[in-house]
Amino acid sequence: MHKIVFMRHGQSIWNYENRFTGWTDVDLTERGKKEAKAAGRILREAGFEFDLAYTSVLKRAIRTLWIVLDEMDEMWVPVVCDWRLNERHYGALQGLNKAETARKYGEHKVHMLRRSYEVAAEPLLPNDPRTSYNDPAYASLSKERIPLTESLKDTVARVKPLWFESIAPEIRKGKRILIAAHGNSLRALIKELDNISDKDIALLNIPTGQPLVYELDDELKPVRHYYLGDPAQIAEALQEVEAQGSAS
């Protein structure tokens, strides 16, 4: 039996301001840092140890991972930063307030944009200063591979190869892995792992800063999964994520 821990980053500045974030590289708030520290403590107290960690190339996830590893006194753990764990690209929505967008276009439309499998936001124009074309974090990628928008389906298409090429082989070697990533890159990974239908994935939200343990059998099929933290706090955090798309 293998165990892997997934964690969404702690609260970011744009989570706090309720803006569509995607590939925008915003940092954690003080609350986000506290969430990461608490997660590290919970993991340490539950006896978890890691041999390898994965994160995105976005600082809210990287910093969350650093804080967790620091709190666990495991800062030596090798870290792979891979763009394929980035948040799903939110196209032209990036920077807009979610409640204002819901007031303008309706809550249903915003829910579809946030949680449906195939719907993507309008793409950024190639000359939009918000594109990642000139960001050195993506220097190894050809321009065609840098998205201007993504649906969850597109996110699955980039996360899946990372799982099969890198993460799964390391788990098979016996490595104990922590993945600090984002709401939608984790939804994409979990959709594949748990074989969740395109329709049902709309119901899955991931709270910020809560360690989620997956137990996997020898074929790396999930046997069970559970959050480690306080259930009341997790329920509240989930409610908060869901409410971000409401007009009020």
Numbered residues of the known binding site for substrate: 8-15, 21-22, 60, 87-90, 98, 114-115, 183-184
DSSP per residue over 212-243, as a string?
Answer: EEEEE-TT--EEEEEE-S-HHHHHHHHHHHHH
Cα angle, residue 239 at apex, residues 206 and 204 outer, rounded to 5°? 35
35: annotated active-site residue: no
According to CB under 6 A, which one of 183, 209, 211, 229 is a site residue for ligand 2PG?
Answer: 183
Is 132 near ligand 2PG (CB under 6 A)? no
We find the least distance from the C-beta atom of residue 78 to ligand 2PG, in angstroms, to be 27
Using CB under 6 A, which residues numbered 139 to 178 contact ligand 2PG? none
22 touches ligand 2PG (CB under 6 A):
yes
Contact pattern from residue 206 through residue 235 relative to ligand 2PG, giving x for each residue in contact according to CB under 6 A and a dash for the rest: ------------------------------
Q: How far apart are CA 45 and CA 43, in angstroms?
A: 6
Q: What are the structure tokens assigned to 2, written together?
A: 């293998």
Q: Point out which span in 17-25, 99-107, 170-178, 215-223 binds ligand 2PG (CB under 6 A).
A: 17-25
Interaction with ligand 2PG in 47-106: which residues (CB under 6 A)?
87, 90
87 an active-site residue?
A: yes
d(CA 168, CA 49): 18
For residues 65, 158, 146, 114, the Cα torsion angle rounded to the nearest 10 degrees is -80
Residues labelled as active-site residues = 9, 87
